[in-house]
Amino acid sequence: MMRKVQLTVAAAAVVLLATACGGGGDGDDQRAPAPGARSCSAWVGQMDESERWSAAEELLLNAKAADGTEGDVTPSTSTVRQFAVDVGALCEQKASDELLAAVADELYASGAYIL
C-alpha cells in the first residue's frame, strides 16, 4: 500500500511539474508528456506501438526504482513486451483518465515482472 501511495504521489508530481513547465513556452514545444503522466486513453487511442514500447520500458524501470530495488537492470525484451500487453489490457478495464503510472504500479505490485 505504501509503495502505491509513493507512486501515486510521484505521478501527481510529474503531472504538476509538466503543467507548470508547459505554460511558459511559445506554443512550439511538441514534447510528449512523461509516460507516467499519460492516461489509459492516450495508451489506447494516441500512442503508436513504438511509443507504447518505450513507455512500457520506462514505466517498468520507474516502478522498480520506486520499489527500492537497487541496480540499473534493463528489462528483457519479452518482459517489456508482456508488460506492454498487460498495461493495454488493464487500461481497457480502467477509466480512460487513469494514469499509466498507477496502472504500471498495480501490475508491478503483482510480482510478475522480474527484471
Structural domain containing residue 37: 2-26+33-109
pLDDT score, position 68 = 72
Q: Has residue 78 been placed in a domain?
A: yes
pLDDT band at 63 (very low <50, low <70, confident <90, very high): confident
8 Å CB contact between 7 and 101? yes
Residue 61 lies in a domain: yes
Cell numbers given for 58: 520506462
Residue 114 lies in a domain: no
Percent of the chain with pLDDT over 70: 67
Q: Do the domain assignments include residue 115?
A: no
Taking Cα atoms as reference points, which of 43, 44, 59 lies closest to residue 102? 59
Residue 15 has a pLDDT of 39
pLDDT of residue 72: 62
The single residue listed with the C-alpha cell 524501470 is 61
Grid cell of 93 as nine digits:
478495464
pLDDT of 94 above 50: yes
Q: How many domains does the chain have?
A: 1
> Does 80 fall in a domain?
yes
The verdict on residue 58 lying in a domain is yes
Q: How many CB atoms lie within 10 A of CB 108?
A: 22
pTM beyond 0.85, yes or no? no
Tell me the residue type at 83. F
Q: Would you say residue 73 lies in a domain?
A: yes
